[in-house]
Amino acid sequence: MAKNIMIQGTMSGVGKSILTAGILRALRQDGYRVAPFKSQNMALNSYVTKDGKEIGRAQALQAFAAGMEPSSDMNPILLKPMGDTTSQVIVNGLPVANMKAADYFKKKTSFIPDIKEAYERLSKEAEIIVIEGAGSPVEINLRENDIVNMGLAEILDAPVLLAGNIDPGGVFAQLLGTINLLSEDERKRVKGLIINKFRGDKALLMPGLEMFKAYSDIPFAGVVPFVTLDLDEEDSVSERLKINNKGSIKDLDDGDALEGHCGLYGEDKSLKISVIRLPFISNYTDFSIFDSMPFVELRYVNEPKGLEGTDLIILPGTKNTISDLKWLKKQRLFDRIKELSYDGTPVIGICGGFQMMGENISDPEGLEGGGATEGLELLPVKTRFFEQKNLRQVQGRVGELTGLFKPLSNEEVKGYEIHMGETISDQDIFPVIASENNLGTYIHGIFDSPEFTQKLFEILYDKKGLKKAIPVMESASVIRERELDKLADVLRENLDFELIYEAIGL
């Protein structure tokens, strides 16, 4: 059986996912076979494994940090919100039901065997498993039958590192309040405390660590500084998705330490790309690659004025296509996108955004409320929803395109599909379809293909009449590996790995 250690947090947003990834990378660098594990995740950012299973995107990143192929064993339960109280429940990588929160709460302990079996399979592949908790371990109204924080630590007999976020202030209250709300047995599991996202002079903080000893004898494992990284974030509670309807200068300090990187807005950007900030936006990590491009101004907009002056409109994926299509109409974005497209502005749709660009969407089985809904009519396709979910990794070459995107013909692309429904067209829609200045695809991660995206930027530069050279793109995997190594270096410098190894039992 593998040894383990668990990263819990005082609340959501403390940086558990990225801390887990960094510790995994450091342990791997030290020569250990390591694996990530999160029993239950709630996120609309997901990833499809090679065998067609769906897991949280954060666990895929952690798998890459560990040097492993992502597996559904790393995230046996994934909850994908469909509304304020309902989520699609995915177990072992496949959807099993749509449940109200109260119904899931009653049923969740029935998934404990699935959690244990997934963990045991991972234990046969790894020497150390780094487990990530979710939210806070002291949501006292949810503590009964907990399967993701201290309840899971008990099931797996895991030592715990507790992280707090100093960025909003009150980190000592966060840590002490959490410790005091734990039971005595739970407190014994906490082997070290981490202060994350620190900015400023650490010497001013150090007396506080000494003073904290009067309240708790749990040692500090370290203070991790605020660091900007080009790494995917957990979900749509993200600074990356902050609405920018005016294209104003974005304060560098608005970023999220050890949680990803937001590109700055400014007048020196050559291209302006506008992503529609849908209420149920999913897999917005499709656009992470743009954050590393200094010549791109990436906007997330939710009203028509945010589209002024844009060079490319992107309709992203969504967990609720019909609801978000109705939202487009309510926000007056529906008509504005059509107007801009007719005037020549390029529009690209990914997954649910692709479905919205078609003539209509029908839902005969009532998966999203039933009925039929008019689409943007920018692409000659029609979509019909079926209960079966399409989950697969894809790789292939773009067929012969016409119109603005003709230069993308024959470019190789790869990524993965996660969608309900079947889209019908007279054209061959694998892997993309184009009409005039509109393009649609089901492939998440398509912009991670360097040659494809390089060619896309050449098209946009030419359309705008820009003569300056386009920087050569790095692949997403090269950027990811460099950033994970950078993260590991930061953690080695600021965490007490002797304490961590002792907690693991090594």
Catalytic residues: 351, 444
CA torsion sign, 325 to 381 to 298 to 403? negative
Residues pairing with 5 in the sheet: 130
Go through 17-35 and write b for each residue having 16 or more CB atoms within 10 A of its CB, e for each that does not: bbbbbbbbbbbbeeebebb
Residue 390 corresponds to which tokens in the numbers above? 């399409």
CA torsion sign, 116 to 117 to 119 to 120? positive
- Residue 366 to residue 386: CA distance in whole angstroms: 9
Q: What's the Cα-to-Cα distance from 89 to each of 55, 94, 358, rounded to whole Å? A: 11, 8, 28
Long-range contacts, stretch 264-271, CB < 8 angstroms, 24+ apart: 265/297, 265/299, 266/297, 269/294, 269/295, 269/296, 269/297, 270/295, 270/296, 270/461, 270/464, 270/466, 270/468, 271/295, 271/296, 271/297, 271/311, 271/312, 271/457, 271/460, 271/461, 271/464
- Going by the DSSP 8-state scheme, the letter that residue 24 receives in this structure is H
Asked if the bond preceding 364 is cis, omega within 30° of 0, the reply is no
Q: Which residues contact 330 (CB under 8 A, 6 or more apart)?
A: none
- Cβ atoms of 114 and 77 within 8 Å: the answer is yes
- Residue 130 to residue 124: CA distance in whole angstroms: 14
Q: What is the longest distance spanned by two Cα atoms in the chain?
A: 72
- Residue 86 to residue 131: CA distance in whole angstroms: 26
Chain centroid offset of residue 289 CA: 13
| Pairing mode, strands 34-37 and 128-132 | parallel
Residue 472 corresponds to which tokens in the numbers above? 């050569």
- Residue 475 to residue 64: CA distance in whole angstroms: 15
Q: Which residues contact 10 (CB under 8 A, 6 or more apart)?
A: 136, 162, 163, 164, 165, 171, 174, 175, 177, 178
- Cβ atoms of 111 and 148 within 8 Å: the answer is no
Instruction: Give, rounded to a whole angstrom, the gap between the first and last alpha carbons of the chain.
Output: 14
- Cβ atoms of 248 and 309 within 8 Å: the answer is no
Q: Which residues contact 190 (CB under 8 A, 6 or more apart)?
A: 159, 160, 161, 162, 179, 182, 218
